[in-house]
Structure 1
Amino acid sequence: MAEETVTLESIYEALKTVYDPEIPVNIVDLGLVYDVQVKDTGDVYVQMTLTFPGCGMGPYIGQQAEWAVQELDGVEEVQIEMVFDPPWSPELISEEARSQLGI
């Protein structure tokens, strides 16, 4: 069992430190993170997508997300699952990010 309990809030905050290298917005506000689950054991599951399936930065973004979550106290294992259904769309971008991007 993990020594400390990790929270969904702390996981989302960690994921907000990860940016799509082609867009100056973090992956949470960009709408790339679809689901986060944490077990009592400290295992974390993140379901996310990319702006398009052929995105060459996909492996990089996934690895950065895994590392960001893994650094949290209480996290044991991190599983990142890339999915493309439902497909990402600009409607998923947060209001804060829309303002930042001027859209």
Structure 2
Amino acid sequence: MDKESAIWTALEEVHDPEVGANIVDLGLVYGITLEENGLVRIRMTLTIPECPLADEIVKEVEEAAASVSGVSKVEVLLVWEPKWTPARMNDNAREEIRSHTTHL
């Protein structure tokens, strides 16, 4: 598996605690840029700009990406354009949210 694929896989372990699905399936990660020196830049958003758990999610993203071999530094860039909408979610996220809400 190449480094970028490994980072995407690692990010699937980071869940939005309020929604109950991982940030990749939710469509929160807009892109990953790899530099030759091991720096990884991750462009992402949150479901709402006022997310009270933003710092926690960003920290988990940094830790997940840093766990990949060859990554020396991680920068998470929170962006608000394009705005996140539920249309960005994939079917995995929709199913996870359905199962999460039916168990409440």
Same fold judged by TM-score > 0.5?
yes
User: Match for 1:29 among 1, 25, 29?
Assistant: 25
Q: What SS does structure 2 have at the residue aligned with 1:35?
A: strand
Aligned counterparts of 2:54 and 2:96: Cα–Cα separation in 1: 23
Structure with the largest fraction of helix? 2
User: Match for 1:9 among 5, 9, 14?
Assistant: 5
Indicate yes or no: 2:39 matched with 1:39.
no
- Structure 1 unaligned residues grouped into runs of 5+: 1-5
Q: What SS does structure 1 have at the residue aligned with 2:76?
A: strand
Question: Number of residues paired by the alignment?
Answer: 98
Q: TM-score, normalised by structure 1?
A: 0.89
Letter in 2 for 1:40: E
- Matches for 1:68-87 after TM superposition, within 5 Å: 68-87=64-83
Structure with the largest fraction of strand? 2
User: Match for 1:54 among 43, 50, 61?
Assistant: 50
- Structure 2 unaligned residues grouped into runs of 5+: 99-104
Identity %: 37
Aligned to 2:92: 96
Aligned counterparts of 1:33 and 1:60: Cα–Cα separation in 2: 16
The Cα shift of 1:26 comes to 0.4
Q: TM-score, normalised by structure 2?
A: 0.88
The Cα shift of 1:100 comes to 2.7
Letter in 1 for 2:40: V
